[in-house]
Structure 1
């Protein structure tokens, strides 16, 4: 762990903002009425919501630098990395399998194997192992190789003699592998946004965070300017790549990795300048959420499942009853009602994070 006096406040704030946004976009009052920026792009392109998860993986990379820079690489280090990865994967699998009905787990065929926490665990494992074994020059080469290799494989290697596609189709390599390896254990019948092959470029997202972490822990002056330059460069390269490898969170395309890392650097540069350079005090509530980020996210997922499953009147779940009876009114649009419900949920978990912080309850996963 990094001593409190050595922490980069902007990273803590960005982590907290990211985790509560992940919760908010996952819990609208009704999925039938959501403002477009709070939805994922249908396939290609991206919305602000599509940037939230890669931001978190980016911060995972920064945290790896803070946690392991200068540490000796021994069996204890590898053991800690492995244990943390398995905890994250285990929590994700539990959320995917849990049901309120006895015996409290879904039928095996209905359990979704991939998921957000599972991807965080896998990405953390590989990014951390790479970081403790290679210098930044080798890591840049590995990151570039992942992104270019993923593009070439996805775009040019035929599937049983059929030209591959980046679209949502059976001849999309990511969809094809998920369907033939995971079978029924996917989010949708034909693809999973946290699938097997697309986890590879997700590791590159975390490597981009490692490069930013190395900048933040260096003695370089005007780090906010460096981050702005890096963010702008990544945005440009990703946008130039997009015509031949479309930006897509569903595929976690290489252009998406660069564009999302570009935005992450730009946002971090602004927060870094305000909090770490100008010493303007703001965003403490998000720091509290960031200190228990995984715990808060897991609780939001678990409680959300309970509220969506437990019936209060034989017809409506707790979730739908609260939404219909408190947030739905003739004088406001359904989109606004749905947003206010999600905003309330986000505020609840911010308050929970604050209480946990004040009581010095820090649960490290």
Structure 2
């Protein structure tokens, strides 16, 4: 069998494992409801700062870049790319309608995470026509971050503390001009759009870092690529710490420090998982780790379904009601009160209940080999 065909057939299990870890964390952390305990370290940072849930999306996007490199190693079919881009945009608009529970086109948000994926995918594929080597992809990623960071610092000079603020940042200027305030995140009331064109430009660096990682995995599978992934990861994390001194971690604006931190963590985690599962140091099928691997693979191979499905389920639970004692109660409240009646930590238990639901869905789909591809 030709070497190219062997490479095509062999999955990169570390990508599935990392996707699985990210999606499991996302389901649990994003479904912890408000309650008597704040769990601030598990919530999104309000502005500057970073928490574990903050790095989930940029890590997911970096993995997206790595997966693209592997999927397109034999070339790009533009017809498929364009169809995929249109699908992502349409799905993104439908997703927004469900999550916001609104069909009002006067205030419909045109931006969103799926639309961001569409933009990042088409731009990255275009770049692949001119750039081939992993090193050049990384250099372009660094250039994108540097240009973006320079723009933020320049605009920040006129803001409080000489740093971009919610009411003083380029997203509030550029995204509102492009889409109109009524079609932005929270109708522009927050002063920025976390998935607008401005932050998407910065997020491009994550996809490019990921693409470079994917190309490294393809070209150096047999030569200990995990060592290179580890070195790259640690170097990029170090660069993020340097950027943090000038422009702190900020998910809302996707600052260079934030983008690099997520890219570095992704490469570092992939190196460890690659050593364990792809390099063959641990044969997961013959060890006690088999159930864990199967569990993570079930989530990883249906990452889009579960990652976005959890938001849609949450919207259904919040907006669909049952009449109890003459009062319409949201299904989410009914479930939460039921959980709270017999466990000491109802907020965490409610999140675990959500995770259990998606575990069942992931297991059924994985067993039947049903995978949502976009």
TM-score (normalised: structure 1): 0.88
Q: CA separation in 2, counterparts of 1:326 and 1:31?
A: 13
Q: CA separation in 1, counterparts of 2:36 and 2:204?
A: 33
SS of the residue corresponding to residue 108 of structure 1 reads: coil
**Partner residue in 2 for 1:135:** 132
Number of residues of Structure 1 aligned to a counterpart in Structure 2: 352
Q: Which runs of 5+ in 2 are unaligned?
A: none
SS of the residue corresponding to residue 371 of structure 2 reads: coil
TM-score (normalised: structure 2): 0.86
Give 1:171-250 correspondences, 5 Å limit: 171-181=168-178, 182-188=180-186, 189=189, 190-219=191-220, 221-250=223-252
User: What is the root-mean-square deviation of aligned Cα atoms in Å?
Assistant: 2.5
**Partner residue in 1 for 2:143:** 145
Shift of the alpha carbon at 1:65? 0.8
**Partner residue in 2 for 1:275:** 277
Q: Which runs of 5+ in 1 are unaligned?
A: none
The answer on whether the counterparts of 2:156 and 2:164 sit within 8 Å (CA) in structure 1 is: no
Q: CA separation in 1, counterparts of 2:67 and 2:129?
A: 13
1:360 aligns with 2:360: no
SS of the residue corresponding to residue 171 of structure 1 reads: coil
**Partner residue in 2 for 1:66:** 70
The answer on whether the counterparts of 2:99 and 2:312 sit within 8 Å (CA) in structure 1 is: no
SS of the residue corresponding to residue 46 of structure 2 reads: coil
Q: CA separation in 1, counterparts of 2:331 and 2:311?
A: 15
SS of the residue corresponding to residue 316 of structure 1 reads: strand
Instruction: Return closer, same or farther for 1:301/1:209 CA change in 2, 3 Å cut-off.
Output: same
**Partner residue in 1 for 2:164:** 167
**Partner residue in 2 for 1:320:** 333
The answer on whether the counterparts of 2:339 and 2:349 sit within 8 Å (CA) in structure 1 is: no
Q: CA separation in 1, counterparts of 2:71 and 2:35?
A: 38
1:291 aligns with 2:317: no
Instruction: Return closer, same or farther for 1:133/1:348 CA change in 2, 3 Å cut-off.
Output: farther
